[in-house]
Structure 1
């Protein structure tokens, strides 16, 4: 359900309860009385309904501050985390519900001049007020997530989960087959029609089933995270009979307005690099944040380094190739994780020391593996950047000392 429907659902339910429950109480529980005067109950309900409006305004202000803070300090792509936070919308829903319910209950206080008080309904309004205060407290607790350590840990956790699901688990139950070229002719093409959209995920079992039904291979032209434009080729069907319905093929490729973590290990790395290079900008000049981002980046790369990355060729249960899609290799991950940080952090001794520490750690982890050669070449590149820098000899010597803390202690 879209998150913007949450407060609307709360409001509709509260209006129905505010109109029905006092009527039932008036008919079947009118004798229940706690001895509170109608004027006191009316004042309390009026204070609740009017106070909720002010509290709702505060909540909106907090929401805008959270969005602006996360967009400016971290990354505009990370701001969607707070824009779609269910806690924010549930809090707004509870505030709206408390306001509308208290307002509806006031209509039954001293109804027809009988000085009657809907006691149970008034107690319900107080309970909702207490729930609103709890929701406000939870919303304030959410502000703690804006701390840089919590933000980086959240992105890192998302990256570790998507690596576990996509890389470690293979993303599907079908077997992954070796890279073999196919000369099958193109029998069908699927083009995107409409506004630009990002590829958010493949429904791999559905694509494999469709390819098997056609007796061919589905070759995805776009990778997860790519943007497709009007007229762009999304996929090709190679060999077989073709003739697959476009609607079924489209349902198997989920498109959206922005990138997501699902099936995209590159996206958490992209966010971490965004935070690091923004921290290294002259306007912020916070290399320590870049070092903290590198902590999470190194952990993600260590998990990727020990896993098979050539997962873009999927077979059916009989071992017949049915689906191919673009997937990044080890060099792609290294470039994404380190290139921009290396460029923008070339004037920071702290960042260069942490970068060398990450590369040396990966090289040691991959000892004897062919991927270690790429890490070694990248480390040579970093050392050449240090040699060409404007540092004096003493700073160059310091920058070549790897340090997991950046500037903590010389190893």
Structure 2
């Protein structure tokens, strides 16, 4: 299942899958209309000479012109797309390239122009005139003309879409919406029954006394997905417990520990190919992180855009502030959500010890590096404090409030150390005092 999910994610983020399906559809459409032209009487076409009055040479000329122009425009669109990808990668972050490649509008436009080209080629080869015996697929030729007219609107839409999609605010917004969907999907997330805090510590000490068997990874890659129900079922069948050594988004080298297995009673299972394959099949590894089960990766994308904006070569404070606003919104959504415990139980036994991100990890991922790179920018420090204030309004958990308090302290220390004027330092102090009151 993990392999199928990874395959689908790769197909969905490719620039060739949707265009290939559209080309196949264009071929079927061309053959279908030619088949209809072969089966119907054409006497009624004489009543509409402006639509169906072209002879074989005229039909060939129309389709040839359409095919030539479509492949030219398709080449232009591919060039614009690659140029946009290069610009986004250098100006913002390479991590958002997957979002652009998986943009359905870009894929559909690329497929549309190539499909018209293929459609015209298929219809062209069926036109006969003179000594060859006359046959003009009038309906198919008319459809080619209609598609060519529609392509004008599609081209205008594509230019507008590209110009709109490379704006910093839209890039950050799209990454935020994708991360919001991941947060809603992932939290709270249950695997078996979640143990309460005291019972969890007791069960963890019990599991820590077991003898663990390390299971190596078969491949290199980042953990993109985990079949958690499969791990739980496997642990029950082994009458033991499975401990994940890497969480979602972690990198695993071939031969390194992917998970560890222990049993509560009896001898530990032998590390054979069957057990290794069973464990590895529950993990989906790929060449890059994906957001489907990794909300932290969504935060990471926005943080990278902010860091690039704060770099000396760019120095774009406005874009960094936009990123901070969206990061504050995302972490605020996590502030009042239940983050699943790493321990999952069944029949009063720990069955899976997962690697789970904590609220503190989400906060540090979102704000630590931005705070370091702000380096004397009072607008960034003030907006960071505002974002933390928004997050604090969403939670009453003492532990999470403490995390936010510690983060405010770090921002205050950085401001005192890097701001150049007393006026700027006073602004930060006043904001901190307001938040503490």
**Fold shared by both chains (TM-score > 0.5):** yes
Q: Which residue of 1 aligns with 2:332?
A: 302
Q: Does 1:229 align with 2:253?
A: yes
User: Partner residue of 1:406?
Assistant: none
User: Which whole-Å deviations, capped at 9, do the CAs of 1:123-170 have from their partners, x for residues lacking one?
Assistant: 2212333454454344334322322222222222222222222223x1
Native 8 Å contact 1:176 1:311 kept in 2: yes
TM-score by length of 1: 0.88
Distance 2:296 2:223 in 1: 13
Between 1:232-241 and 1:15-24, the stretch displaced more is 15-24
Q: Distance between the aligned counterparts of 2:179 and 2:358, measured in 1?
A: 16
Question: 239, 252, 263: which is aligned to 2:293?
Answer: 263
Residue 10 (structure 1) aligned with residue 22 (structure 2): yes
Q: How many residues align?
A: 399
User: How far 1:283 moved relative to its partner?
Assistant: 1.0
**Structure 2 contact 38–137 (Cα < 8 Å) conserved:** yes
Q: C-alpha deviations, 1:105-135, integer Å up to 9, x for none?
A: 2233343445542111112212333454454
* Residue in 1 that maps onto 2:275: 245
Shift of 1:28: 4.2
Q: Give ranges in structure 1 of 5+ residues lacking alignment.
A: 404-411
User: How do residues 240-389 of structure 1 correspond to structure 2 at under 5 angstroms?
Assistant: 242=269, 245-316=275-346, 318-366=347-395, 369-389=398-418
Match of 1:219 among 214, 221, 243: 243
Counterparts of 2:28 and 2:394, CA distance in 1: 62
Deviates more, 1:363-372 or 1:98-107: 363-372
Is the Cα–Cα contact under 8 Å of residues 269 and 297 in structure 1 kept in the other structure? yes
Superposed displacement of residue 315, structure 1 = 2.5
What secondary structure is seen at the aligned counterpart in 2 of 1:370?
Answer: helix
Note closer, same or farther for the CA distance 1:116–1:183 as it changes in structure 2 (3 Å cut). closer
Which segment is superposed worse, 22-31 or 209-218? 22-31
Give, in whole Å, the separation in 2 of the partners of 1:371 and 1:24: 68
User: Which sits farther off after the overlay, 12-21 or 95-104?
Assistant: 12-21
Alpha-carbon shift at residue 238 of structure 1 (Å): 1.6
Please tell me whether the aligned partners of residues 172 and 323 of structure 2 are also in contact (alpha carbons under 8 angstroms).
Answer: yes
What's the secondary structure of 1:323's corresponding residue?
strand
Q: Give the secondary structure class of the aligned counterpart of 1:54.
A: helix
Deviations 1:204-253 (A, max 9, x none): 11111111111111100011001111211101112156466333322211
Deviations 1:60-119 (A, max 9, x none): 012112211221222111111112333323322222221122122223334344554211
CA distance 1:121–1:129, shift in 2 (3 Å): same
Q: CA RMSD in A?
A: 2.5
1:352 touches 1:400 (CA, 8 Å); kept in 2?
no
Alignment of 1:50-199 (within 5 A): 50-113=68-131, 114=133, 116-143=135-162, 144-168=164-188, 170=189, 172=190, 174-178=192-196, 179-180=200-201, 181=204, 182-183=207-208, 185-186=210-211, 188-194=213-219, 196-199=220-223
Greater mean deviation of Cα atoms: 104-113 or 55-64: 104-113
How high is the TM-score relative to the length of structure 2?
0.83
Match among 22, 32, 37 for residue 54 of structure 2: 37
CA distance in 1, matches of 2:397, 2:122: 73
Mark the runs of 5 or more structure 2 residues left unpaired by the alignment: 1-7, 433-437
